Amino acid sequence: MSSATTEPGTAVPAVYPPGAEFAAAANGGAALYDRAAEDRDAFWAEQAERLHWHRKWDRVLDWSDAPVAKWFVGGELNVAYNCVDRHVLDGHGDQVAIHWEGEPGDSRDITYRQLLDEVSQAANYLTELGLEAGDRVAIYMPMVPEAIVSMLACARLGLTHSVVFAGFSPTALRQRVDDARARLVITTDGQWRRGKSAPLKEAVDEALYAHGDVPHSVEHVLVVRRTNVEVPWTEGRDLWWHETVAQASTEHEAQPFDAEHPLFILYTSGTTGKPKGILHTSGGYLTQTSYTHHYVFDHKPGQDVYWCTADIGWVTGHSYIVYGPLSNRATQVVYEGTPNSPTEHRHFETIEKYGVTIYYTAPTLVRTFMKWGREIPDAHDLSALRLLGSVGEPINPEAWRWYREVIGGNRTPIVDTWWQTETGAIMISPLPGVTAAKPGAAMTPLPGISAQVVDDDGSGLERGRSGLLVLDQPWPSMLRGIWGDMDRFRETYWARFASEGWYFAGDGAKVDEDGALWVLGRVDDVMNVSGHRISTAEVESALVGHSGVAEAAVVGASDATTGQGIVAFVILTAEAKDTGEALIGELKAEVAREISPIAKPREIHVVPELPKTRSGKIMRRLLRDVAEGRELGDTSTLVDPKVFEAIARG
Ligand code: WT7
C-alpha cells in the first residue's frame, strides 16, 4: 500500500494514509499491535487498568467453560462509579458530560457533578422501591437525559437493564418485559417526533393490558414528563419521576460488584421470530468499550466534543453514548430527534454549535446527506471535526469519500467500525493515525482481537476470496449468553464451527491482496435496514398475523439509501376481501404496529405461490433475485420451477 495508489481508471486515491500531524498526536500506535500479539492476556489486563477496581482480579481470563467466558476473575468494580463518580473525585466535576439537545430546540448542559447527583437520586429511589441487585428493569425512553441516568442508576445498583427502543411497538415491549421478567418499566409521557408528541406511556399501558388477564412481572411504571401529554394512570403502580426520583437524596455510595455481574440485556433479531436477549456483564464489557472508545476515536478527555448519533435503544447507544464515552470522561452531544427536524441543517448546526470534533454515525445517514445535497453541510463551519466514524453496515466507497470530503473537509480520518450487539464493542476497525484506510474496508482486527475469514469447512482462504467471518479468540466484551436460553446461544454462534471453538458472526467477508478486511454483509436470514437488524421471520410472522395472509416470505433487497429494503411476497387467504392497494397499505401498517415502523416493508407483492425446495424451505435467494430485478439463479431445486412465471404475473 502506498499513498500514490489510485483506483484503476480514476484519480481518486485507493488508500488514505494517516496525516503526519494526526499520527504524531494519536492515542494509538503500531506498538499496540505488537504488545497484544506478544501476550494477549497481559495486553487486556493493561487495558483493564483504565478502570477503577474496588478489588483487583486474580486471573485475566477463564475460558474453561467455553463458550461462556469469565474475564477479570475475582475482580470487583462498579460500572457507574467508573463512568461518573471517579471523574468528579478526580476534580472534573464541572466538566460538561452531556450537551443535551432536545428536538423542539430546548437544551441542557449536564456536568459530571450534576450527573452524579441525578444518578444518585435515581439509585436511592430505585432502592426505595425495593429493587435489588440482579432484578431486571425495562427502559423504554426517547433520547432524554433521564434515559442515561436510568441506565447508570441500574448499573450502580447491579440491576440489569433492558433498554427497549422507544420506536418499538407495545407488543415488542411486552415480549421483552415478559422474557426478562422486568419488575420496573421506566418511560416518558410522550416523545417528540418531528414536532409532534407521540404517546409512549400509553404504549406501556397497552403492552401491560393488551394481553388481557395474562399476568406480568411489572410492579411499577416510572414516568418522566417530557411532552406534557395526558397519560393514562394506574394509581399505586404508576409514579412520576419528578415527584419521586427528583426528590430523593443526592448522597449515594456505590457498592462494588463482581466483574461478571450482569450489566444489561439487549434484544436483537435473530433468524427466528423470537428476539434474542443478548447478555453482557460488567468488567470485560467496560474494559473493551473504554479501550475502543479511547483508541478508535482517538478521544482526548477535556478537549474533544464527541457525538454519536445512535439511539440508546441499540447497542451503539449503550457502548458509545453511555459506557465507553462516560468511562473516558467524554464531553458529548446527545440529540433527541431526527436529523431533519426542523430542517436538514439540524446535524450541521449542532456540530457547529458545540464544536463537535468526533462524529460517529451510520452509512444510511451519510447517504441521506448525499441525497439532500452538499450545499447543506457547506453552509456550516464544520472545521472543528477531526475524526469521523461509521457503523452498522458496510459503507460503500462512494459514501465514504463523500463523507470524508464534504463533512470531513478532506482532512479527517474515517474509522469504519465493525461489531455487533453480541460483540459488545468494536472489533474490526482502522486505528486513526496508524492505519492507511481503504474506503469501504473495516481493515483489520483491533489489537487484542483475532478474526479470520474461512470457507464453509473452516479452512483459511486465499486473499481475495470471500468466506465467513469468525472470531477465533474470546474477547472481554463478548456476550455471555442469551437470556434464559443457553442452548440457543450455543446453537446460534458456536455450533457452526464447534470443533474449532470459533464464534460465527453471521457475516460474509473477504481479506484482499493487501490484507485489508472487507465485511460483505449478513449471510443468514437477517436483514440490515438503515443499520437496524430485522429478521425475515419476524416480519413474516407479523404478516401472517393478518387474517388476509396465508403465507409470507420476506427478503432484504438492496436499497440505495437504507442499505437494504424489506420486500415481502404474500399469498392471500380466501378471507382477504380486497387484494389491491388498500390491503397492501393495511399490511404495511400491521407490520409497523406489530414490530416497529422501521420494519415496514418497502414493497409487498401479492403472489399465487412461493418458491419452495422439496423439503419445504422457501428459497429466499430466488426471491431476492426477483426483488432486485435480476436474472433468476438456479431454480433446479424448486418443486415447481413454473411458480416464477406466476410470481412475475402477480
Ligand atoms: C451487524 C450487527 C454494531 C452496532 C450496530 C449494529 C453489520 C455493523 C458494520 C460495518 C459492515 C457492519 C454486520 C453485523 N455491521 N457494522 N462497519 N461494516 N457491516 O449492531 O444490530 O448487532 O448488527 O451489522 O452485518 O453483523 P447489530
Question: pLDDT at residue 649 above 70?
Answer: no
Of the candidates 255, 256, 279, 259, the residue with the CA atom closest to the CA atom of residue 267 = 279
Q: How far apart are CA 18 and CA 357, in angstroms?
A: 17
Substitution site in 279, 323, 364, 391 for ligand 1 pocket (most atoms within 8 Å of beta carbon): 391
What residue type is assigned to position 609 of the chain?
A: E
According to the model, what pLDDT value does residue 3 have?
45
Residue 424: CB within 6 Å of ligand 1? no
pLDDT at 490: 98
Residue of 268, 322, 419 best suited for mutating to test ligand 1, as the one with most atoms within 8 Å of CB = 419
Average pLDDT of the residues in 227-250? 97
Cβ contacts of 9 within 8 Å, gap of 6 or more: none
Burial class (CB in 10 A: 0-12, 13-18, 19+), 554: buried
Residue 193, annotated as binding a ligand: yes
- Choose among 66, 413, 114, 67: nearest CA to 246: 114
* pLDDT at residue 412 tops 90: yes
Residue with C-alpha cell 411532552? 227
- 280: Cβ below 6 Å to ligand 1? no
Best of 266, 323, 395, 528 for a ligand 1 pocket test (most atoms within 8 Å of beta carbon):
528
Ligand 1 contact, 362 CB (< 6 A): no
Residue 422 CA, closest ligand 1 atom number: 22
Q: Would strands 358-361 and 305-308 be described as parallel, antiparallel, or unpaired?
A: parallel
> Closest residue (by CA) to atom 5 of ligand 1?
392
Does residue 639 have a pLDDT over 70? Answer: no
Q: Is 196 annotated as a binding residue?
A: yes
316 CB near ligand 1 (under 6 Å): yes
Read off the amino acid at residue 62: D
Sequence letter at residue 239: L
**What is the best residue among 395, 420, 426 to mutate for testing ligand 1's pocket, by most ligand atoms within 8 Å of CB?**
420
Mean pLDDT, all residues of the chain: 94
Q: CA-to-CA distance for 58 and 54, rounded, in angstroms?
A: 13
| pLDDT tens, position by position, 559-610 | 999 999 999 999 998 887 777 889 999 999 999 999 999 999 999 999 888 8
CA–centroid distance, residue 356 to ligand 1 (Å): 24
Q: Is 124 annotated as a binding residue?
A: no
CB 497 near ligand 1, within 6 Å: no
Does 195 belong to an annotated binding site? yes
**Cell, residue 488:** 440457543
**530-648 CATH fold:** GMP Synthetase; Chain A, domain 3 (3.30.300)
pLDDT at residue 2, rounded to an integer:
42
What pLDDT digit, counting tens, does each position of 36-76 carry? Answer: 999 999 999 999 999 999 999 999 999 999 999 999 999 99
Report which ligand 1 atom has the smallest distance to the Cα of 531.
Answer: 6
Q: Rounded to the nearest whole angstrom, what is the distance from the C-alpha of residue 399 to the centroid of ligand 1?
A: 17
Is 191 labelled a binding residue?
Answer: no
Tell me, what's the pLDDT at 111?
Answer: 99
The H or E element that residue 368 is part of is: helix 363-372
Average pLDDT over residues 362-369: 95
d(CA 600, CA 584): 11
| 332 neighbors 321 (Cβ within 8 angstroms) | yes
Q: Kindly report, residue by residue over 240-288, the tens digit of the pLDDT.
A: 999 999 999 999 999 999 999 999 999 998 877 789 999 999 999 999 9
Grid coordinates representing 254?
A: 456505590
Separation CA 342–CA 352 (nearest Å): 16
522 lines ligand 1 (CB under 6 A): yes
Q: Is 509 in the pocket of ligand 1 (CB under 6 A)?
A: no
Q: What grid cell was written down for 477?
A: 466484551
Q: Where are the alpha helices (DSSP H) in 129-200?
A: 145-157, 170-180
Give the residue, 9 or 587, on which the prediction is more confident: 587
What is the mean pLDDT of the segment spanning 351-366? 97
CA–CA dist 568, 607 (Å, integer): 10
| Residue 351, pLDDT score | 98
Grid cell at residue 292: 475502543
> Which pLDDT value is given to residue 575?
81
- Pocket lining: 103 vs ligand 1, CB cutoff 6 Å: no
Report whether pLDDT(128) > 80: yes
Residue whose C-alpha cell reads 436470514 in the numeric block = 525
Is the pLDDT at 197 greater than 50? The verdict is yes
| pLDDT in the model for residue 5 | 76
Is 638 a residue whose pLDDT tops 70? no
Residue with cell 428459497: 619
Average of per-residue pLDDT across 186-210: 95
The overall pTM is greater than 0.90: yes
Q: 288 in ligand 1 pocket by Cβ < 6 Å?
A: no
User: What average pLDDT does range 355-374 have in this prediction?
Assistant: 96
Cβ(420) – ligand 1 distance below 6 Å: yes
Query: Annotated binding residue at 606?
Result: no
In the reported structure, the alpha carbon of residue 407 is separated from the centroid of ligand 1 by a whole-number distance in angstroms of 22
CA dist., res. 16 & res. 436, Å (int): 5
Please name the residues in contact with 213: beta carbons below 8 A apart, sequence gap of 6 or more: none
Kindly give the pairing relationship between strand 190-193 and strand 563-572.
unpaired
> Cα of 90 to ligand 1 centre, how many Å?
36
Task: Name the burial class of residue 596, with classes exposed (0-12), middle (13-18) and buried (19+) by CB atoms within 10 angstroms of its CB.
Answer: buried
Asked if 602 and 610 touch (Cβ cutoff 8 Å), the reply is no
- DSSP 8-state code for residue 245: G
18 Cβ closer than 6 Å to some ligand 1 atom: no
Atom of ligand 1 nearest to the CA of 316: 4
Q: What is the mean pLDDT of residues 174-180?
A: 96
Distance (angstroms) between ligand 1 centre and the Cα of 422 equals 10
Measured distance CA(239)–CA(223) in Å, rounded: 6
